[in-house]
Amino acid sequence: MNVFNQVSIWLSFQLSVIFLIGIPFTLFLWSIKKRNKAVKKLLSIYWKISLLFFISLLLLIGKYSYALLITNFSTLLMTISVWFWNDINDELKEYDFSYSLITTTKVWRWSLTFISLNFLIQSLQNISCLYLINSASCGIWLQPSSNFYIIIKGLFNFFFGANFTQPIAKFLGLFSLLIYTLGLIQWSIIRLPKNGRNSCFSQNGRNGFNK
């Protein structure tokens, strides 16, 4: 793996932290302050879906062979989740450019889409890492999760007085993945046929233009 590719992967992870965690967290707090139901609902759904991304980080820490594949699947689901809902899309179209919360949300959605596509392209350039993350050539993909490992290790030791190891991370990741998959299947069978692409963000009327 050449230096340019290593730098590109490192940059992809840094951008992911900003656009997958930092900006949506800020937008969520902003939507609460502005009492904007559409954006609040969009971000609420997004955070539920994004749990898979954090699960994939646990699996990367545990060096699970298919961890990178799950990471890519999580970013794909996160991107779909911010474009999927017809009622939210219709609501966002009603606001003009001067409404900063909506404008920022729209820019973030497009940025998230490009970040996810870039992440997928980077992964496909190292396609063997999608199913064999433990190979020597895939080490660069494991480095970004090391910081997350340090944080969890410290918290785990503080709260439980025990050492957080890679096997524990792998077990927790796989167990969480099972629960997440069951929840996703349940939503696909029960909620999706009932509501379709309607998020039901407003049960009491449309949003006001509260700036």
At 35-50, the pLDDT tens digits run 999 999 999 999 999 9
pLDDT of residue 154: 76
- pLDDT for 211 beyond 70: no
DSSP string, 71-84: HHHHHHHHHHHHH-
Q: How far apart are CA 34 and CA 11, in angstroms?
A: 33
- pLDDT for 209 beyond 60: no
Mean pLDDT within 28-39: 94
- pLDDT for 159 beyond 80: no
Burial class (CB in 10 A: 0-12, 13-18, 19+), 200: exposed
User: What is the per-residue pLDDT across 63-81, written as a single tens digit (0 to 9) for each?
Assistant: 999 999 999 999 999 999 9
Q: Which of 13, 35, 27, 11 is nearest to 82 (CA)?
A: 27
- pLDDT for 205 beyond 60: no
Q: Locate tokens 């899309």: which residue?
A: 89
Mean pLDDT within 156-169: 78
Instruction: Give the pTM.
Output: 0.88
- End-to-end distance of the chain based on CA atoms, in angstroms? 49
Mean pLDDT within 74-103: 93
Residues 169/57, Cβ–Cβ less than 8 Å: no
Greatest mean pLDDT range, 31-45, 123-137, 139-153, 157-171: 31-45
Mean pLDDT within 19-25: 93
- Give the H or E element holding residue 46: helix 37-61
